[in-house]
Structure 1
Amino acid sequence: VAGPNVRMERKAMENLDWLVTIDLWETETAAFWKGPEADPAKIKTEAFLLPAACSVEKEGSVTNSGRWSQWRYQAVQPSGEAKRDLWTIDRIFRSVRGLYSYEGGAYPQALLDMKWDYGDEPDVHEVAREINGFDLTTGRLLPSFGKLKDDGSTSSGNWLYCGSYTEKGNMAARRGLSDPSGIGLYPEWSWCWPVNRRIIYNRASCDTNGRPWDSEHPVIRWTGSRWIGDVPDYGATVPPEKNVGAFIMKPEGHARLFGMGLADGP
């Protein structure tokens, strides 16, 4: 409950059957029922607050705003009854699937046939490997999303993270300090989605001839045969004169200041 109309949001939450909040402390959302103007006796919502493990109480990855996925390790056991997010999600899924198995329901096979074999204590490394993805014909981890296929022979939980956990190991756990670029890219420290590209749309750092706008701090540059530097957000061997455009995910190759094709909105 921290939006532009808190009063309306609190009123809406009073009409829920139940609310489950998982957090380190009691948030405004978890305690909406005792906020200003609230009368707990008249609120039908049953609220549950589950204690969560904090960052040093669990192992896993954390991704910052620069898209660097960095692995961190558990330092201490969770206090009290606090649980890891993964443990909670695992228990919820298995409980829901158990209900579907016993009681039935709409489209039960989607849950009953889903592969979910993480054991009693789900392994965060196994989840990370599944997010990366496998070649299902060999069982080997995929090196990048370029190896994904649409014929059912590969899998990936999130194509953006394909390459984060490969046969070479957990890329997010790397702590290499080399920086060939000299501008702070550190390509061997952790892993950056996608394909360990540190700066997205980096083709925009060069002019139409492939020369860096800032020659003293180049992100990428054209050698005459290929782009070098950061992992190019562009065809590695596509010459500048092709005029493909720096924003290759857009048909016109350019950035947009507004969304095209929307029925309404900015």
Structure 2
Amino acid sequence: MQDDAQKPFRQNDILDPARANACLRALGRFADIETGVYLPPFFHQLYFWDAQPPTNLGRDGHPKLGGIIPDMGLPRRMWAGGQLEFLAPLRAGLPATKTTTVHKALHKKGRTGPLGFVTLCHEIAQNGIIAVREYQDLVYREDPTPDSPKLTSAAARTDEVSSVTHSFDSTLLFRYSALTFNGHRIHYDLDYARDVEGYTGLVVHGPLLAQLLMLFAQEYLDQLSHFSFRATAPLMHFEPATFCWGGDGTLWVRGPDGRRCMTATAS
């Protein structure tokens, strides 16, 4: 019998325009999406909720491991990055199907201890045509201890040709968590984020940073065909960040202290 972690996980959903408009409004943008209109890039994140009962959740608010995602034996989960191919437009208000498979899963020994790496492949199809193919990179780590090595953050580039500053707060993080049905407590439970996972504040979602970068890139490239991103340092909810366009398809997020929080390429 095939292992559950190897079986494709399929979900069906209708890409409700109201949810897309709510996301645009949460991001402070004009919202006029109706049925049949193309969704902005990466907005498939708002759909295909995996709603589990409380008994099926882990301590961090995510569904317990051991189903489609193998249990790596490590408690802390982070969305480390991803690669996306936009093959056809997704239209709001119409049915769509998401098929998820495990692309790879492995353990490594890192400078701060053991690490688990999982890459999921998501294919979102509409009318039988694959519109988006996404490789989602997840990293699993041990809980921090008082003597855990401190991570150092590299400095971000300062040679951007255009930039925009975004501020974040607990309200935006809560609304984005709700819109994406992301129960990870590091985004809304300050005590948990600080006392259990060792952050200094609520963590801004990596996908939220990537989403803002994609919308920024779209201002220069119109329609995106490819986008890849890598989270390099966490950003806290009380920190403003500068979103940068390099003029050559490169983008990055710079924290208020100059650290590099995310890098990306778009075409």
Q: Same fold (TM over 0.5)?
A: no
Higher relative contact order (CA 8 A, sep 6+): 2
| Larger proportion of strand | 2
TM-score (norm 1): 0.22
